[in-house]
Amino acid sequence: MRIVATVPSGERPLPAGFESLEPFVTYWAVAGQNERRHQRCDTTFEEIRRFYDAMLPRADAAMQHLSGFPLRDMPGPEARLMRLVLSLAQASMAVEVQGSARVPNAPWPDTVRILTEETL
């Protein structure tokens, strides 16, 4: 399964001030908790770490910026920024908890699915 976030032509990838995070949009700004978990599990620890290191210092500012927009009806750039923030929670499991991309010695791909009532 290959999942990517796309940026419609004419739209900026992220709100002004967050340009440094643009290289992470395609892979990490995907919609859905199950999809974000998939991205975290389907890459290497080094890639997760790279995203974590870039995202963590901007997370608070990002949430600050996003607090001015309705959670379920954000403009494209804000929606992608929000998804980057949410992906940070997934990435932190690898970096802060497991010390590896996935649960050590668990199979990948696996049959685990996170089923939500709404897709953020």
Partner 1 sequence: MRANFTQAAGLGTGPMSFEPYRTQAHFELERERIFRRTWLIMGRIEDVPNAGDYIVKEVEICNASILITRQASGAVKAFHNICSHRGNQVVWDTKGTRKTMFRCPYHNWTYGNDGKLLAVSDEKMFFNLDKKKCGLDSVQCDVWDGWIFINLNPDNRVSLREYLGSMGEFLSGIPYPNAHRSIRIQAYLKCNWKFLIDAFSESYHIPVLHSKTIGPTFSGKINPMSHLQNAEFFGPHHSISLFGNPDYKPEEAALVEKLAYAGMVSENVLAANQSQDTMDLRAHRSVNPAKSQTWSMDINEIFPNFHLDVAGGGFWTHEIWPITQDFSRYEMRFFVPKPETVREAFHQEHYIARLADVVLEDLANVERTHKGVAAGVKKQMHLQEHEVLIRRMLKLHEEFEESATLEEALKRCAWADSPDTAEPALEPVA
Residues lying near partner 1 in the complex (CB under 8 A) are found at 33, 36-37, 40, 52, 56, 59-60, 63, 66-67, 71, 82, 85-86, 88-93, 95-99, 103, 105-107, 110-117, 120
Query: Which residue, 26 or 92, is less far from partner 1 as judged by CB?
Result: 92
- In the complex, the smallest distance separating the C-beta of residue 29 from partner 1, rounded to whole angstroms, is 13
Instruction: List the structure tokens of 76.
Output: 């494209």
Query: Which residue, 13 or 91, is less far from partner 1 as judged by CB?
Result: 91
Compute the chain's Rg from CA coordinates: 14
Whether 35 and 26 have beta carbons less than 8 Å apart is answered as no
Query: Which residue, 10 or 70, is less far from partner 1 as judged by CB?
Result: 70
Query: Which residue, 9 or 92, is less far from partner 1 as judged by CB?
Result: 92
Rounded CA-CA distance 9/70 in Å is 23
Dmax (CA) of the chain: 44
Residue labelled with tokens 């590896």 = 100
- In the complex, the smallest distance separating the C-beta of residue 66 from partner 1, rounded to whole angstroms, is 4
Rounded CA-CA distance 7/109 in Å is 27
